[in-house]
Amino acid sequence: MGLPSTEQVTLVQTSWAKCVPIADVAADLFYNKLFELDPELRPLFPADLAAQKKKLMAMITLAVEGLTSLDELVPKVQELGRRHAVYYKVTAPMFDTVGAALLDTLEKGLGESWDANHKEAWTIVYGVLSNTMINAGDAAVAESA
């Protein structure tokens, strides 16, 4: 899977802009779906998800806005991947579950404006970002072993 096209980046950015005003609802949808897909992930998070939901929405916003400046975004995503792997023991398969929960959240949150082009754009963007995190996390775990 290659990098997203300029049109796909624009689709992701404009669709995310529609989610920002409903950030609380989107975060609820995301975590509900995440724990429905894999209940074993629930213990990795605090009992009160309020702060975590804000972090999630802020991180997605940072990533989406950074898609036009990958040279600045990639080191931040790599650091996030290292932290998730080393401190939270996040593994590569967990990223698939997160991706599925994200796509489900976007589909529900965007309603009629969600279509196959949005799904493809978000899938590519998430794939690039998650692979960057996974690779950085794997390297960090190997270094600490």
Q: Is residue 38 part of a domain?
A: yes
Cα–Cα dist 32/25, whole Å: 11
Structural domains in the chain (count): 1
CB 84 within 8 A of CB 136: no
Q: Is residue 1 part of a domain?
A: no
Q: Is residue 102 part of a domain?
A: yes
pLDDT tens for each residue of 128-144: 999 999 999 999 999 98
The pLDDT score that the predictor gives to residue 69 is 93
Cα–Cα dist 51/117, whole Å: 32
We report the CATH number of the domain holding residue 129 as: 1.10.490.10
CB 43 within 8 A of CB 87: no
pTM: 0.94
Cα–Cα dist 58/76, whole Å: 13
Q: Is residue 62 part of a domain?
A: yes
Q: Name the nearest CA neighbour of 122 among 143, 103, 101.
A: 103
Q: Is residue 69 part of a domain?
A: yes
Tokens (6 digits) for 18: 């529609």
Q: Is residue 140 part of a domain?
A: yes
Q: Is residue 118 part of a domain?
A: yes
65: containing domain: 6-144
Q: Is residue 81 part of a domain?
A: yes
**N residues, the chain:** 145
pLDDT in tens, the chain (145 residues): 688 999 999 999 999 999 999 999 999 999 999 999 999 999 999 999 999 999 999 999 999 999 999 899 999 999 999 999 999 999 999 999 999 999 999 999 999 999 999 999 999 999 999 999 999 999 999 998 7
CA distance to 25, 59, 126, per residue, from 68 (Å):
27, 15, 15
